[in-house]
Structure 1
Amino acid sequence: LVERSGYLKLTDFGFAKQLGADGRTWTVCGTPEYLSPEIILSQCHGLTTDWWTLGILVYEMTTGATPFVLSEGEMSLYEEIVANQPGFPPSFPKHTKAIVQQLLHSSPTERLGEGRGGVDDLQQHAFFTQIKWEQLL
């Protein structure tokens, strides 16, 4: 959907889950191509899984395909996601590649948006220089 301001709005969060007070869950749900390694490995997860999914979405909006493709069955896809070696076409924009790599970091605690600066680090990334965050609220 497109807002009056011209910004896109993501919809269809049928697999969304509201987290408890500790911000963590063990629930396994989601579309296979978008699952984070910690979900696949049946580990406790939280907001960092959403940062992973944002990285998948940015990659897909740039190339038209997800970085990890379901071609030979779900187990093969899951192995590919856990190995975390997405390919980037030569034409992939520099700042876009940088943010995708930071969002798809294998370690949830090292993902962009998770460190000391939290979401501010994400908003200040060069990829978002044209975004007026206050207009999105």
Structure 2
Amino acid sequence: MQEAQPPEKLSPSSTLRLKDLVPVFYQEGRYQGDPVTLGVGGFGRVALMTTLPHGKYYAVKRVSKKHIVAKRQEEHMLFEKKILKAVQCEFIVRLHGAFKDTRYIYMVMEFCSGGEIWTKLKEVGRFDEPVAVFCTACVVEAYAYLHKKNIMYRDLKPENLMLDTKGYVKLVDFGFAKELVRGEKTYSFVGTPEYMAPEIIKNQGHDFAVDFWSLGILIFELLAGSPPFSSSEPQKIYAKILDGELHYAPYMSEAAKSIISKLCRPRPGQRLGNTKNGIKDIRHHRWFSSMNWHKLRVGQLEAPTARLIRKGPCYINFDRFPLDQTKAEEEFSGWDRDF
């Protein structure tokens, strides 16, 4: 395997190499003996792997190069790797190494053993307010870090939030992230329909404000169990978003309704987080009145999400996926020479 720049040192004497990683196998159930798959997406699979000497676990994302080229995602992949290599934030998943061969590119990521927020939400139906407050606060910290570095995230949703062993939330999947100079706008049509801000749909040009809109949608979904604007057809979702009517459930607190409506204002310039005080306004909103931001940042808070994490084999908090025996075709265009 060719390696990108020497990956991060794991211990003074060792560097992580792809060939040092071995699959973890299901120990029981109908897939017993098969390698553990943590997730499957349009772009590839994420496998659970370990290193023999010190038994550390990693989530290894494997993506077909042929597929990347077919979908014209070369720039996105290179940018995702560049961002993840550069960021060092407790609320963003870490990249330990990037590799490639003739068929795939591999990203060796930190393993978040608590699983996806999406899975937990489906298990319990909807989150109690303290759990939603905690999850959202972790996202606010990730946003503050990224926006300071002039990076828009643009793909917030429960599927892209993972829990670590302590129950802290980390942002994963930077396929839609983009660097943007303050004051400029970009015009690409990206995101997940339910989470798209009106200005993306109207193609009016967008900036960091789209991340605050999606934060409001996330809070709503965590508290209600489903997003405020939904339909099986994207066009209908867009129509509802542009219509902009939010229907709150009776069990939502006044503070929750207040922060959601302030984040989901149709005009980007009026959104909470996007006015002159920036992200501070979000931290100071009364919905977060119980949050000790400093303790959160240094990892000293008891995470209310911890009780959602099941005990058992290291993959217990993930859905199970059957083995995929198919092999991607080889790809030699060379777009990935800097990967």
Taking structure 1 as the reference length, the TM-score comes to 0.89
Match of 1:16? 177
Contact 1:23 1:47 in 2 (8 A): no
Task: Indicate if the aligned counterparts of 1:7 and 1:136 stay in contact, CA closer than 8 A.
Answer: no
Residue 52 of structure 1, CA deviation: 0.2
Match of 2:261 in 1: 101
- 1:106–1:122 CA distance, 2 compared to 1 (3 A): same
For this pair of structures, how many residues does the alignment match? 136
Q: Could you tell me how far 1:115 is from its partner in structure 2?
A: 1.2
Asked if 2 retains the 8 angstrom alpha-carbon contact of 1:49 and 1:108, the reply is yes
C-alpha displacement of 1:47: 0.7
1:117 to 268, 273, 277: 277
Matches for 1:53-132 after TM superposition, within 5 Å: 53-71=214-232, 73-132=233-292
Runs of 4+ in 1 over 6 A off after TM superposition: none
2:158 is aligned with 1:2: no
SS of aligned partner of 1:9: strand
* Alpha-carbon distance, 1:129 to partner: 1.6
Per-residue deviation at 1:95?
A: 0.8
Q: Which moved more, 1:122-131 or 1:3-12?
A: 3-12
- 1:8-29, Cα deviation, whole Å (9 max, x unpaired): 2233343222223544211110
In structure 2, relative to structure 1, the CA distance for the partners of 1:117 and 1:20 (3 Å cut) is closer
Cα RMSD over matched residues? 1.8
Mapping for residues 30-41 of structure 1, pairs under 5 Å: 30-41=191-202
CA distance in structure 2 between the aligned counterparts of 1:23 and 1:59, rounded to whole angstroms: 29
Alpha-carbon distance in 2 for matches of 1:11, 1:17: 14
Distance of 2:289 and 2:170 partners within structure 1: 18
How many angstroms apart in 2 are the aligned matches of 1:93 and 1:21? 34
Higher normalized helix content (fraction of residues): 1
Structure 2: runs of 5 or more not aligned: 1-161, 299-339
* Contiguous gaps of at least 5 residues in structure 1: none
- Larger radius of gyration between Structure 1 and Structure 2: 2
